[in-house]
Amino acid sequence: MAKLILSMDGLVLKEIALTKERTTIGRKPHNDIQIDNLAVSGEHAVIVTILQDSFLEDLGSTNGTVVNGQPIKKHFLQNNDIIELGKYKLKYVNEAVAGQAKAADFEKTMVLRPGSVKAPTAAPAASAPAGPAAAAPVAAAAGARNLSDTLAGQSVTAAPVAPPKPAAAPQKNAALQLLSGANAGKELDLTKPLTTLGKPGVQVAVITRRPQGFFITHVEGASFPVVNGKTLDAQAHSLNDHDVIELAGVKMEFFLKT
Amino acid sequence: MTLSGALEVASCTDPGMVRSHNEDSIASDGDQGLVVLADGMGGYNAGEVASGMATTVIITELQQLLEKKIPYEVDAHSGQLVAHQLLHEQIAKANTSIYQAAQSQPQYAGMGTTLVVALFYDNKMTVAHIGDSRLYRLRGGELRQVTKDHSLLQEQIDSGVITPQQARQSQNKNLVTRALGIDPIVEAEIHDYETQPEDIYLLCSDGLCDMVSDDDIGLALQTLSSNLKLCAQHLVQTANDNGGRDNISVILVRVLRDYPAPRSIVGKMMSWFK
């Protein structure tokens, strides 16, 4: 369950769990999070929570809403985001992300069954595999629909989110230097996750860049690549600094770059 | 009817780096032009049971039916393409089997599975899917997602609540809005597509596409297309290198040549007079 930690000048004032579909923030007393400060508008912002995801939306406040130093209209909250309203700070903490040990549970696939909104007393066996969590997704699915209604036609202006971290690439970079053939002396940087070598239809091998290092694997052709004078089999072969590869009649040296 | 030599099929399935069970199931019959992938869910081993039932029912029943039924013909009674009818009927059958097992045996209560099936015939492919297992196509160096997930995230993307980029950050992954075996009746989404020689089709569970970017999937299909088995293993390995948080299954189908329906002259004459 995600929560907000309200603080001012580094002093924690309170914690608010995001249990509701809509959590309103503002100066007036009817808000879920009331901040009695003139810099805060009567109805300042709202947080819409759909299962594990929360979205912050500014409600046209006078002084605006700032997340991590950037003014926003609408923002998809990420763990440890800092929301600023005047002198007040709200830190967004999503336990699902923080508690890595529990992560596996959250990743179990579940079924959302819109049908059971109408018939909540469906057969017990039909109440989805997630047990206690099953009711929540259904309710939230309805919430999602409400949200999409209110936002219909309104484009989401949140800042583009960086794509998930790419594969943990090996620390070192590597390259091949051709030792024979027409292009002898030429260097080929191995920057891509996959680099193919050889002549299609004759002999092809691929070098894969993995977190554990670089590996060469035979792809096609009757003859297999030779590394340091030894012919490989169909298995991937780990490459070491200064290994010499022979492929389709061309010799090349693999080396790690610093 | 056989498509022998028209399609090359390779597959790989792996529990991943975190899970102890593999709840995915895959099955294929290249000569019949049939590939099936299912990603099960449910406690203990119920997920495996559900996905295993789905792939077994669908592949064995369709293998038999395709011996006598012609997928590109139109059924006289229903006016439906036979391929669609076959898929509808066998998916319904699999759904009933899983649903009844879940109802009658407490250890299977609530089990279900996603499904993606592709049937190749007459230079075409009919794809049926339920849930968030996907089918992609690589053509002319470009990777395209063919199926659209039945998931909360996809619904949010469609309604503009979040962007596809934000969806990758979402904590609401793995929430499917449709699954096989959960309700007495399920509706599969079924579409037809033209195929071309050199096309490569990828069927996968979310354990692949959640862990490996579309760019890296596309690069692997393009680079390793001449060795489909290696390509399948490489995709699974990449998902594991990136964390392998879920089970990973891939089926690859490469179209080697055209495979038009063998229509006789008499048959053509008949169809003119119909």
**Smallest CA–CA distance from A209 into chain B, residue:** B238
Over the range A111-129, which residues count as b (16 or more CB within 10 Å of their CB) and which as e?
bbbeebeeeeeeeebbbbb
Nearest to A41 by CA among A85, A92, A74: A85
Q: CB-based contacts of B171: which residues, under 8 Å, 6+ apart?
A: A51, A52, A53, A94, A96, A97, A106
Q: Is B183 on the interface with A (CB under 8 A)?
A: yes
Instruction: Work out the mean pLDDT of chain B and round it to a whole number.
Output: 92
Position B144 scores a pLDDT of: 97
Q: Is B156 on the interface with A (CB under 8 A)?
A: yes
| Reported confidence tier of residue B44, pLDDT bands at 50, 70, 90 | confident
- DSSP SS3 for A46: strand
To the nearest whole Å, the CA of A230 is away from the closest chain B CA by: 21
Whether the CB of B154 is below 8 Å from some CB of chain A: the reply is no
**Cβ contact B109–A125 (<8 Å):** yes
Whether the CA torsion A118, A123, A128, A130 is positive or negative: it is positive
Closest residue by Cα to residue B51 from B37, B64, B63? B37
Chain B residues near residue A128 by CB distance under 8 angstroms = 110, 182
Q: Which of B45, B169, B180, B237 best probes binding to A when mutated, by most A CB atoms within 10 angstroms?
A: B169
Distance CA A5, CA A13 (A): 8
**Cβ within 8 Å, pair A160-B174:** no
Nearest to A51 among B110, B172, B219 (CB): B172
How confident is the model at residue B268, as a pLDDT? Answer: 58
* B111 CB within 8 Å of a chain A CB: yes
Q: State which amino acid sits at residue B53.
A: M
The mean pLDDT of A187-202, rounded to a whole number, is 91
Which residues, 6 or more positions from A221, have their beta carbon under 8 angstroms from its beta carbon?
A: A198, A201, A202, A203, A204, A248
pLDDT digits (tens, 9 = 90+) for B190-205: 999 999 999 999 999 9
> How far is residue B22's CA from residue B25's CA, in Å, rounded to a whole number?
8
Indicate whether B65 pLDDT > 60: yes
Cα angle, residue B108 at apex, residues B107 and B112 outer, rounded to 5°? 155
CA distance A120 to chain B (A): 14
pTM of structure: 0.78
A212: chain B residues, CB-CB within 8 Å: 241
Contacts of A166 in chain B (CB under 8 A): 213
Q: What confidence tens digit (pLDDT) does each residue in A70-112 have?
A: 999 999 999 999 999 888 999 999 876 544 444 444 457 777 7
B220, exposed or middle or buried, with CB in 10 Å at 0-12, 13-18, 19+?
Answer: buried
CA angle B266, B270, B274 (to 5 degrees): 175
* pLDDT (mean) for A172-191: 90
CB-based contact (8 Å) between B269 and chain A? no
Q: What is the pLDDT of residue A172?
A: 78
Question: Which residue, among B3, B2, B1, has the nearest Cα to B256 in the 3D structure?
Answer: B3
Identity at B66, one-letter amino acid code: L
Q: Do B127 and B146 contact (CB within 8 A), yes or no?
A: yes
